[in-house]
Amino acid sequence: MVWIAVAVGGALGSMARHLVNLEVSRHFSRPTPYATFLVNVVGCLVIGLLAGRVASEKLHMTTTMRSFVFVGILGGFTTFSSFGLDTFTLAHGGDHAAAFWNVAGQLTVGLGGVAVGFYLGL
């Protein structure tokens, strides 16, 4: 059931992402980087809000519901929100070095991966 929840949530999140791209491109000359920026900020705000409510026990979510929302919807909408929550969790837990290296590593290796992939694709 969790796999189905993730799949359905992922489809909904991806459709929402596409809608943001379309709407942003109507107001600006191009959707990138504006749509990506908006999606990442909104995704981070939502995942932080939900994680805080779950952590404070103001919101109860079953494992399936968490997977549907966090992995499915938000993962389909933007994985940057997961990156943000992972980094915040490390820092909030006192592991500042791991939080730093998570940011530095994902940015440098991720951007490096884009460059390598681009040139391999030429």
| pLDDT tens by residue, 27-62 | 887 766 888 889 999 999 999 999 999 999 999 999
pTM for the whole structure: 0.81
What's the pLDDT band for 9 if we cut at 50, 70, 90?
A: very high
Say if residues 78 and 40 touch (Cβ distance below 8 Å): yes
Domain that holds residue 46: 2-121
Chain mean pLDDT for the chain = 93
Name the domain count of the chain. 1
Task: State residue 28's pLDDT score.
Answer: 85
Taking the C-alpha atoms of residue 6 and residue 64, their distance in angstroms, rounded to an integer, is: 8
Assess whether the previous peptide bond of 31 is cis (omega < 30° from 0).
Answer: no
Task: State residue 53's pLDDT score.
Answer: 94
Taking the C-alpha atoms of residue 78 and residue 59, their distance in angstroms, rounded to an integer, is: 22
Task: State residue 31's pLDDT score.
Answer: 66
**Alpha carbon 30 to chain centroid distance?**
21
